[in-house]
Amino acid sequence: MANVAKYTKGACGHILKHYERAKDENGEYVRFGNQDVDTSRSHLNYNLGPERSESQYSFIKQRCSEVYCLNRSDVNVLCSWVVTAPKGLKDSEYEQFFRRTYEVLEGKYGRDNVVSAYVHMDESGQPHMHFAFVPVILDAKKDRYTVKAKDVISKTELKKFHPWLAEIMTKEFGRDIGIETGELGVRGNLTMEQYKTVQEANRKAERAIVEAQDVESRVLVAVDQLKDIQGSVAAATQEASKAQAKVEDLGSKIEESENALRDRCKALVAAQKQLDKVLKDVGTMVDAMASRADLEDMRPKLGIFGRVTLSKEDYDKLYKTAEAAAVAQRLAAKASATTDKLSVDLARQDRRQREMAEEAQRTRVRLLEQEEELGLLRRLLQLVVDLFRSDPDIYKTYRNYHYHRSGNEGFIGRLDWKLQELLDLAMGTSYAAEDKARYLAQCAERKAQKGNER
């Protein structure tokens, strides 16, 4: 009459789609197991759970973030009671039965934890309700609310569920409506053959989901790495361009400095030649003066006032000699200062040129490393494409999984169009264009529905 199941985050997406009668990418209703759905009766289905603007999956994520929940892939974040209407009920009593069942289950597990409570009237067999909730329990030791499915749905809970619900419904209807009170156990009131079939279907679905999650995570990580590397390559290329421009600018400046240095060297050589000439003239004058026969006459003589006197001719010669020596000294000092300055400029330019060369070498090394990383990423993407090509069923499972996980928007929000266009190009498909067209059509349909509701 009733059975319970537990689901991880990775496994609950498909069953949530089944609850709300979502359609897959082929426009067909999502089924769980081998249920036969009569779509002509799907409009009779209804949800007794709280009305929310967000999706069921978004609510589960939000509720898990509000309480303590281990960040592990094997944590069961969703429990679902499937309560089937007893055959002893009349058709007119179905809604009363499901509403009363919802009330007691909501009181038992908490309204804040209820995900949904869809009543399905369109499947073969008796109508039934999927009461889905987040298994939150108060951890008294740590004084906090925790997601812990094994404590919320314990063995004691399973044994007591049928008798507890039978007692409530007997009071509600004033008679025994035929709720089975046998021990529920893990498989509920299914036959062993039915239970094995359901378990095998669950295992296959979970394996397919795990494979799809693994492919998804690898592709998304590869795309993120590709974007990061492309950004790094672009930045490095820009830096290299700037460095090259600086090197070229520095080269032109060095060339200008070398030209200026050559001009200064020429000026220095000319000054040195002029200095040599002056010194030579001074030496010639001194030699000439020393060889003169009247050198004795140039000796100082005492004048009438007791001062040293020279003849005007000797005085003029000595003055010119002293003036030439002063000019030569000034030229030598100026030449020395110019030489020192040129040496400092050359050392500075040489140091700057070495620094720029080292920076250019580091930039080239970074570019080579990034090119190597980009090559590895391309090979990883090629491996993914080869995997899809070798087994089209994996590619189909991967797409179906994304469609179920991302709601009516297909790949929107889960995988950007550029990646799908890349896969289309490699696989020879056109899913990106089809998804985009379907998404736009769904947007238009929702917009029209909202307009009609207003």
> The pTM is what?
0.43
Given CA atoms 338, 340, 342, 345 in this order, what sign does their dihedral have? negative
Of the candidate ranges 79-88, 277-286, 333-342, the one whose mean pLDDT is the lowest:
277-286
Task: Say how far apart CA 247 and CA 241 lie, in whole Å.
Answer: 10
What's the Cα-to-Cα distance from 28 to each of 38, 91, 137, 400, rounded to whole Å? 12, 28, 37, 12
What pLDDT is stored for residue 148 in this prediction? 92
Confidence of residue 418 (pLDDT cuts 50, 70, 90): low
Confidence check: pLDDT of 324 > 50: yes
Question: In the structure, how many helices (H) and strands (E) does the chain have?
Answer: 10, 9
- CA quadruple 410, 411, 417, 422: dihedral sign: negative
> How many CA atoms does the CB half-sphere of 281 hold within 13 Å?
15
| In contact, 385 and 424? CB cutoff 8 Å | no
Check residues 57 and 218 and name the one with the higher pLDDT.
57
Which CATH number is 224-389 given? 1.10.287
Specify the pLDDT at position 26: 65
Residues 6+ apart with CB under 8 A from 17: 24, 30, 404
Choose the most confident range, by mean pLDDT, from 178-192, 214-228, 346-360. Answer: 346-360
Secondary structure class of 260 (helix, strand, coil): helix
Token look-up 């009247």 returns: 294
Q: Specify which of 106-110, 197-201, 395-399, 408-412 reaches the highest per-range mean pLDDT.
A: 106-110
Most trustworthy range by pLDDT among 79-88, 289-298, 398-407: 79-88
**Pairing outcome for strands 308-309 and 301-302:** antiparallel
Burial class (CB in 10 A: 0-12, 13-18, 19+), 192: exposed
The strand pairing partners of 7, in sequence order, are: 78
Residue ranges of the alpha helices (H) in 307-454? 312-390, 392-405, 417-427, 431-453
The half-sphere exposure of 6 on its side-chain side, counting CA atoms within 13 A, is 15
Mean pLDDT taken over the chain: 76
Identify the residue with better confidence: 289 or 71: 71
Tell me how crowded residue 16 is: count the other CB atoms within 10 A of its CB.
26
Q: What is the DSSP string of 23-90?
A: B-TTSPBP-STT--B-GGGGGG-EE-SPP-SS-HHHHHHHHHHHSB----TT-EEEEEEEEEPPTTS-
Domain 2-189 has CATH 3.20.20.190: no
For the chain, the distance separating the N- and C-terminal CA atoms, rounded to the nearest angstrom, is 41
What distances in angstroms separate CA 363 from CA 280, 355, 370, one per listed residue? 58, 12, 11
Cα separations in angstroms, 174 against 152, 168, 171, 187, 446: 30, 10, 5, 29, 45
Q: Do 290 and 255 meet the contact criterion of CB atoms below 8 Å apart? A: no
CB atoms within 10 A of CB 83: 24
> 419-449 pLDDT, tens per residue?
666 667 776 777 667 777 777 787 888 888 8
Among candidate residues 142, 8, 128, 144, the one with its CA nearest the CA of residue 75: 8
Q: How far is CA 130 from the centre of its chain?
A: 37
pLDDT (mean) for 396-421: 54
Coil, strand or helix: which one is 425? helix
Mean pLDDT within 90-115: 93
Query: In the chain, where are the structural domains located?
Result: 2-189, 224-389
Average the pLDDT over each of 51-65, 157-171, 231-245, 299-313 and give the range with the smallest value: 299-313
Of the segments 152-166, 245-259, 295-309, 326-340, which one has the largest average pLDDT value?
Answer: 152-166
